[in-house]
Amino acid sequence: MPLPKKVSSSSKLNAKDRVYQQLRAWIITGTLAPQEKISDQAIAALFGVSRTPVREALQLLATQEFVEMIPRSATRVTAVATDQISAIYRPLAALQGLAAELAATKITATELERLTALNQRYEQAQQQNQPQAVLVADNDFHNFILQVAANQYVSEFSQLVNAHAQRIENFYLDQLNVQQPDAVREHNEIIMAIAADDAVAAREQMERNWLRSLRMLEACVKNEG
């Protein structure tokens, strides 16, 4: 799969971070396919930068297991970790559960309104049968809870693991049923628990939401077999 023909040059990020974020996004969405070779020279030309920030970005992606750098050979996009779904989703459920627990102790009325609106957008994307929009809206909902939780470590670890989860979900997007009223209901239960300052219930409802996704994706893998 060829690289896109151009990228935005308006970002305020430095060269390495700009390349890193864009390459990671392309890997997560499948724009860069599993096992696809990556040319640092081609990427440098595309972004209008030297090969040094490209190599730095690729090294960071390699530590996060999005690419593999084979010495004196090639750099490739890693395979989608379909055999690691449980290993990804169970820690993610715990991290997101902790975020919901923390959010329940500090959310403001304005933030609660925003969280409700994000879930409404998620439900609307389902009703309009827009699979990619469903994934984006779901991710926005969970990322906002991380923002409210305001714990740097929970946020960083969660977003890294979630990036691999998003990649799996994009990989199986054609097989997933985007009509998930249970997920909308679970989000509403999370919101109600957070609004009630019930940290324990918020954590439990959040974990339940992520473990439902785990079961759904495990079913996709089983159907492939």
CA distance 99 to 193: 13
**What percentage of the chain carries pLDDT values higher than 70?**
96
pLDDT of amino acid 13: 79
pLDDT of 72 reads 79
Q: How much is the pLDDT for 224?
A: 79
Distance CA 20, CA 44 (A): 12
Name the one residue in this structure whose structure tokens are 């049923």: 177
Whether the Cβ atoms of residue 96 and residue 142 lie closer than 8 Å to each other? yes
User: 100: pLDDT confidence band, cut at 50, 70 and 90?
Assistant: very high
Query: In the chain, where does the domain assigned CATH 1.10.10.10 lie?
Result: 15-77
CATH superfamily of 82-224: GntR ligand-binding domain-like (1.20.120.530)
Beta-carbon contacts of residue 52 (< 8 Å; ≥ 6 apart): none
pLDDT band at 73 (very low <50, low <70, confident <90, very high): confident
For residue 70, list its beta bridge partners. Answer: 74
15-77 is classed CATH 3.40.50.2300: no
DSSP E strand stretches across 44-185? 67-70, 74-77
Q: Look at residue 10 and tell me whether its pLDDT is greater than 80.
A: no
Asked if pLDDT for residue 215 goes beyond 70, the answer is yes
Domain ranges in the chain with CATH number 1.20.120.530:
82-224
Class of residue 2 by CB neighbours under 10 A (exposed 0-12, middle 13-18, buried 19+): exposed
Per-residue pLDDT, averaged over 125-134, amounts to 93
